[in-house]
Amino acid sequence: MIDQDVLERVLSGATATGADFAEVYAEDKRSTSAGLDDGRIEQVTSGRDQGAGIRVIADETTGFAYTSDLSEAGLAAAAAAAATAAKQGGGGVKTVGLKLSEQHRPNTIVHNPDSIAKARKVELLNRMNDAARSYGPEIVQVSAGYGDSTKRVIVANSDGVFADDEIIRTLLRINAVATADGGMQTGYQSMGHTVGFEIFDTVDVEELAREAARQAVTKLAARPAPSGEMPVVIKHGTGGVLFHEACGHGLEADHIQKGASVYAGKVGKQVANPLVTLVDDGTMPGEWGTLGIDDEGQRTQRNVLIEDGILTDYMWDFLRSRKDGRPQSGNGRRQSYQHLPMVRMTNTFVMNGPDDPDDVIASTPNGVYVAKLGGGSVNTASGDFVFGMTEAYLIENGTITEPLRDGNLIGNGPKVLQDIDMLANDFSMGSPGTCGKDGQGVPVGDGQPTLRVKALTVGGTAA
């Protein structure tokens, strides 16, 4: 996108007024999406967006400007605006020499979605529609969506970093609506990976659709969820979002430095049951939050945050690591070239434990089994959270029995980490997610094995 010598001149100009640091983040993103609703293809769209964001730091002040003009003149103008915002006058010229970093490509791409005809992408939606509707007469409405993107990224800064990456993502989702006796329920499934169109050689899209239909039909017979504190078993793969929201955000260094996290000052201390090891890993091949480099040019890596219940470290971006004299951890992320980077998660998960998943259920006399956890909210300062249960069942006498209507899980992140008393050996990653923070959304993955929390508050409607 941009020649190395152009980047060097732009960075030199950005630091000419005495700034401590300057950075160019450039991206070129192409995307395709298609949607189906009520048996009809509603739209097939393609788009392209490219531009660069330039950050300049002087002392504790950050200036930022972005432009869609990737010419040297356009970049220089944006750099001058950012430098002016960061510091007025003074300084001198700092010559910047860039050295291209060794490429880090955790994902292997066989068929770039750009090379696939749109008709084949639309065919996936029609196949899912037919499979969901054929599940049973209760299915009355189906909507589905397909999306792919190819994003090329260049990051260069005045410290000499010069790195690039290409991120290809492919996404499929389906929503099924079932009705019976005046009642209506929905089921939802999605699949997303940082791989090419070859993912559909191994993913059964019809099975994905049937699973969404099954979920909707099963919930038609659901009874009200119970209320009160009780043991909760969470199915493998579906509960990772709980750890992402209730624990992961509290381990991001910006919250730590602000004193806005319950985990501040607790490195080296036990914060979870010794069964629990929590990891953030941006290098997992094919996962939704995987990157070769973060959005500050730092190579992604595997970061163990909690090991055997002991808090070992936080996640770091450039600004926070610079302030505390810590190495970056590959967690500087931004939504696009129009946004500043901040410390964010990639793929966050709890590792396997020693228990058999069937034993986790069998050893729970009574409680709730959560087969699919929905979205929620968390207070990072206190760790208190609320999450929706989109598919759940009663556990009675160590057996999964009746389906439950949607309810909430209410608890506290640090307490949940301590109250996990069984952890199975059936780890899996969950569905693709988008993490929202300070108005920005980035792709993330999460996962966990089947586990039991000995006491969580279930917010149901049963008397």
> pLDDT for 312-339, tens place per residue?
999 999 999 999 999 999 999 999 999 9
pLDDT reading at 94 higher than 50 = no
Question: Tokens 């036990």 correspond to what residue?
Answer: 270
What pLDDT shows up at residue 102?
A: 77
Amino acid making up residue 129: N
Question: pLDDT digit string (tens) for 151-205?
Answer: 999 999 999 999 999 999 999 999 999 999 879 999 999 999 999 999 999 999 9
Q: Is the dihedral of CA 197, 203, 206, 212 positive or negative?
A: negative
Residue 164: what are its φ and ψ, rounded to 5°?
-140, 165
pLDDT reading at 419 higher than 60 = yes
Cβ-based burial of 22 (10 A; exposed 0-12, middle 13-18, buried ≥19)? buried
What pLDDT shows up at residue 380?
A: 83
pLDDT reading at 90 higher than 60 = no
Question: pLDDT digit string (tens) for 108-117?
Answer: 899 999 999 9
- Residue 86: pLDDT band with limits 50, 70, 90: confident
Mean pLDDT of the chain: 94
Angle between helices 72-86 and 4-14 (to 10 degrees): 20
DSSP 3-state assignment of 383?
coil
**Domain boundary assignment for the chain:** 113-149+169-219, 228-459
Give the CATH class of 113-149+169-219.
alpha beta
Non-local CB neighbours of 326 within 8 Å, separated by 6+ positions? 253, 316, 320
